[in-house]
Structure 1
Amino acid sequence: MEPVGRSAQKRQAVINAALAEFKDKGFVGASMDAIAEHAQVSKRTVYNHFASKDLLFNEVTSSFWVRSKQAASLQFDASRTVEDQLLQIARSVWAVYQSAELIEQARIVLAELIRQPELVEQALAQVNDQECGLLPFLQQAVSAGALQIPDIKIAETQFWGLMKSFAFWPAVFRFHDFSAQAEQVLNSNVQMFVRQYLPG
C-alpha cells in the first residue's frame, strides 16, 4: 500500500494538473489522459483518486468555495463586540482572496459556470451542506441578541457582496487593486453591515 503522504502528494498533483487542463481546454476539452500526463502519474492513479472527470471538476470547484466559507467561520463570542468579530472575519476573508492560486481557480470555475452550469451547481450543493461559514455566526449573534436580522440568508449575501466588491471581483477581472485601502474598506463595510442589523 502506498504511504499516506505519498498518496496525498499524488492527489494534489492530479488536482493541480486538472486546474491547468481546465484552464487551457475547458471541462469538455480536458481529458483524464492529459491530466495524468501533466501530473506525471499513471491514469490508474488518477482514477484511484477521482472516479470520473466530473468528480475531479467537482473537487476543483467545491474546494474554491470551501476555502471562502472556512475563512468566514467563527464562533460567536458574547464577550466581544459583534463589530470586532465581523472585522476579524472580514480580514480573514480578505487574506484568502489575496491568494493568486485561489483567484486563478476562481477564473476557471467561473468560465465553466457559463459553459456547464450544472457541473458547478452540483459542487455548490455539497458546499452548502457544510456547517461552516458566515451563516452559523450570524445565527448565533441573532440568538444572543447582538444582531436583529429578519432574513439571515439575505444578510449573509449582503456581507459577501460587500467583501467581493472590493477583494474578489477586482482581482478576478484584474480591475483596481484595493490592497492599500484594505483596512479602510473593511472597517467601512463592517460598520455599514452592523448599523443595518443592530437591535432597536
Structure 2
Amino acid sequence: MENLSRSEQKRQDILLAALAEFKDKSFAGASMDAIAERANASKRTVYNHFASKELLFQAVMESFWQQSKRVANQQFDATQPVEEQLEIIASAMWDLYLQSDFIEKARVLMAEFIRQPQMMDQVIQQVNDQEQGLPRFLQQANASGALKISDLKVAETQFWGLCKAFAFWPVLFQLHDYREQRQMIIKSNVAMFVQHYQHKST
C-alpha cells in the first residue's frame, strides 16, 4: 500500500470531500466551506492545496484521467502476440470500470459536462496532449508492423468504444451486468479489432 505524507493524505481527503460535494450539489452549488467541513480540514488548509473551486474540480478531472492512463499504460512488446497484449489492456480497464470511486468520478464529471460543455473541450485537449496509454501502444504496434493503422485516433476511439459498450456504460447507468461473459467479450472484441487492423488500413 502506498505510504502518503501527512500533506498528501490531506490532499486526498480534500479530493474525496470535493467529489462528494460535487456529486450532491453540482459544481455550481458546491462551496469551499462545505468541502473543508467534509474533509475535516480548515478552509485555509483547503486553499493551501487548491487556490479555487475551479482548480479543485480540475484536480478531480485529472485524477479521473490519470487512473485511466495508468491502467492502459502498457508498452508494446514485439515478441508477444498483439492480441494478448490488447486483451490485458481491455481486462485492466474492465477492472477499473468496476471501481466505485472511478465510477463516482465519471458520474460527477458527466453531469458537469452536460451543464458546462466547455469543460469537456478542456478535458479532451488535456487527453490529446498526453502521449501515453493506448495511443502510445498503438503507435508502437503500428511502427512494428503488427498493426496497419492510418488514423490512430480513430482506432483508439474504436477500441475504447468496444470496451466501454459492455464494461463502462452498463456500470455507469446500472444496466445489464456482463461480468459473466467478460472473457468471451474481451476476446471477441480484440479479435475484431486486430483482424481489421492487420489486414487493411482505413
For residues 151 and 172 of structure 1, the distance between their equivalents in structure 2, rounded to whole angstroms, comes to 29
Quote how far apart the aligned CAs of 1:199 are: 4.2
Percent identity, please. 58
Match of 2:27 in 1: 27
Q: Between 78-87 and 113-122, report the one with greater CA deviation.
A: 113-122
Amino acid of the structure 1 residue aligned with 2:189: N
Q: Which runs of 4+ in 1 moved over 3 A?
A: none
Please list the CA deviations of residues 7-40 of structure 1 after superposition, one character each: whole Å capped at 9, or x if unmatched.
0111011101101110010000000011001111
Match of 2:118 in 1: 118
Please list the CA deviations of residues 116-139 of structure 1 after superposition, one character each: whole Å capped at 9, or x if unmatched.
222343244333322311011101
Match of 1:66 in 2: 66
Match of 2:108 in 1: 108
For residues 124 and 150 of structure 1, the distance between their equivalents in structure 2, rounded to whole angstroms, comes to 21
Question: Are the aligned partners of 1:146 and 1:199 in contact in 2 as well (CA < 8 Å)?
Answer: no
**Which segments of 5 or more consecutive residues in structure 1 lack a partner in the other structure?**
none
**Which segments of 5 or more consecutive residues in structure 2 lack a partner in the other structure?**
none
Question: Are the aligned partners of 1:76 and 1:141 in contact in 2 as well (CA < 8 Å)?
Answer: yes
Match of 1:138 in 2: 138
For residues 59 and 127 of structure 1, the distance between their equivalents in structure 2, rounded to whole angstroms, comes to 14
Matched residue count? 197
For residues 169 and 99 of structure 2, the distance between their equivalents in structure 1, rounded to whole angstroms, comes to 13
Question: Are the aligned partners of 1:58 and 1:120 in contact in 2 as well (CA < 8 Å)?
Answer: no
For residues 89 and 7 of structure 2, the distance between their equivalents in structure 1, rounded to whole angstroms, comes to 33
Please list the CA deviations of residues 57-92 of structure 1 after superposition, one character each: whole Å capped at 9, or x if unmatched.
011112112211221111111110111111111111
1:198 counterpart SS class? helix
Match of 2:185 in 1: 185
Give me the TM-score of the superposition, normalised by structure 1.
Answer: 0.94
Match of 2:160 in 1: 160
For residues 66 and 10 of structure 2, the distance between their equivalents in structure 1, rounded to whole angstroms, comes to 21
Alignment map for 1:33-112 (pairs within 5 Å)? 33-112=33-112
2:175 counterpart SS class? coil
Match of 2:174 in 1: 174
2:5 counterpart SS class? helix
